[in-house]
Amino acid sequence: MKRYVAVCGAGDPAADTDALAYEVGRLLAEAGAIVVCGGLGGVMEAACRGAKQAGGTTVGLLPGQDRSHANPYVDVAIPTGMGEMRNALIVRSADAVIAIGGGWGTLSEVALAMKTGTTVVTLGSWDLPEAGGHSPQPAASPDEAVNLALDR
């Protein structure tokens, strides 16, 4: 069965995290994984752009009700109308989460994934202590992040 990996990060463009996200998206698509994200700009758009560059499939779970808010690299855009509650849907849709950069929305996705036992990999993101005997797995590069997320 195909693997679904969520790439989580801020919607505002930022050169450093966008470059990481592009590479993560590209490597996930090369590995045959489906990229799930929040469907907007910044890290989400960069990850989708990378995935499409490698011929992959991208899914955007949008916070609002307007499908046209999806970035142009989203193949399947779902306007959830759930606002930030859709972060929980992104996590639930994913077999693993790669968090890039350090916003509060990203932290919510990391925490929800940790709570529900989903693999979480951080890349230039929140540095969190162990809780309940578990912590996210920090990666030093897009390549390592994808390998950890795909458990290979």
Point out which residues bind a copy of itself (CB under 8 A): 1, 4, 34, 57, 59, 61, 65, 67-68, 75-76, 78-85, 87-89, 92-93, 102-105, 107-108, 110-112, 114-116, 128, 131-132, 134
Tell the smallest beta-carbon distance from residue 79 to a copy of itself (Å).
6
Nearest to a copy of itself of 15, 104 (CB atom): 104
Instruction: Report the 10 Å Cβ neighbour count for 48.
Output: 32
CA atoms 122, 73, 40, 92: torsion sign: negative
Nearest to a copy of itself of 102, 143 (CB atom): 102
Helix (H/G/I), strand (E/B), else coil: 61: strand
95: left (phi > 0), else alpha (psi -120 to 50), else beta?
alpha
